[in-house]
Amino acid sequence: MPGDQPHEQSLRIVLAEDGVLLREGLVGLLTRFGHRVVAAVGDADELRAAVAAHTPDVVVTDVRMPPGLADDGLRAAVELRAARPGLPVLVLSQYVQRSYAADLLDSGDGSGVGYLLKDRVGQVEQFLDAVVTVARGGTVVDPEVVRQLLRRRRDPLAALTPREREVLGLVAEGKSNGAVARELVVSEAAVGKHIGNILGKLDLPPAEDTHRRVLAVLAYLRG
């Protein structure tokens, strides 16, 4: 795998994960790539306290944790964003649940949020990219969730060419034009044209800004 130089930006991170093994692992991973984990906690109440105390650049949290062992982590994340709009939060979920993703994306204006399957932490680089993207105010949605959304809204998407559908999937995951171009090995201009066509076909307002575009697409898919 190429590119294991540390990311150019060092982030201050609050991490909430109740599994000790995984928490230690994540701290090690993030630290190794030049970020600072200012607090690593194991339940939702500690998470709230840690965010209040440290005002981190980004919060990375699991969905399920004490005290309730239900979706306490997610609830805390949504509350934190309500209290501090724009607080970047990346939620790791054990399952593909649209309901979780929807709750999260609807919190604040949908910028600076990410919803990833926990498995993705194994894809070290993708995971780190997601952390950075969210911290910068971007939107990251797990490909698995996008796939479900695309499957559900079959009919209106019939108008899209297979290539356009591929591009749409990547846009919905929160990728910039450049990232999409790299993924599909085409020029950035070609991607821009595809996106223009897609937004046109789906009756969505044209948008330059990555996360607004993502939100528009997601809103459409969830509609």
Rounded CA separation 193/28 (Å): 41
Q: What are phi and psi of 14, to 5 degrees?
A: -105, 125
**Surface-to-core class of residue 45, CB atoms within 10 Å of its CB (0-12 exposed, 13-18 middle, 19+ buried):** middle
Residues 154-213 that bind another protein (CB under 8 A): 154
Query: Hey, is 71 helix, strand or coil?
Result: coil
121 touches another protein by CB under 8 A: yes
Residues 85-114 that bind another protein (CB under 8 A): 94-95, 97-100, 103
53 touches another protein by CB under 8 A: no
Which residues, 6+ apart, have CB-to-CB distance to 74 below 8 Å? Answer: 61, 63, 91, 93, 100, 103, 104
Residue 137 Cβ, how far from another protein at the closest point, in Å? 26
Using alpha carbons, select from 142, 152, 153, 134 the residue that is nearest to residue 96: 142
Residue 221 Cβ, how far from another protein at the closest point, in Å? 11
123 touches another protein by CB under 8 A: yes
22 touches another protein by CB under 8 A: yes
Rounded CA separation 153/140 (Å): 20
**Surface-to-core class of residue 7, CB atoms within 10 Å of its CB (0-12 exposed, 13-18 middle, 19+ buried):** middle
Residue 148 Cβ, how far from another protein at the closest point, in Å? 5
Among 19, 34, 66, 137, binds another protein (CB under 8 A): 19
Residue 25 Cβ, how far from another protein at the closest point, in Å? 5
Residue 95 Cβ, how far from another protein at the closest point, in Å? 6
Give yes or no for a contact between 211 and 174, defined as CB atoms under 8 angstroms apart.
Answer: yes
Q: What track of x and - describes contact with another protein for positions 124 through 153 (by CB under 8 A)?
A: xx----------------------xx-xx-
Give the residues lining the site for another protein (CB under 8 A). Answer: 1, 4, 19, 21-22, 25-26, 29, 32, 64, 69-71, 94-95, 97-100, 103, 117-119, 121-125, 148-149, 151-152, 154
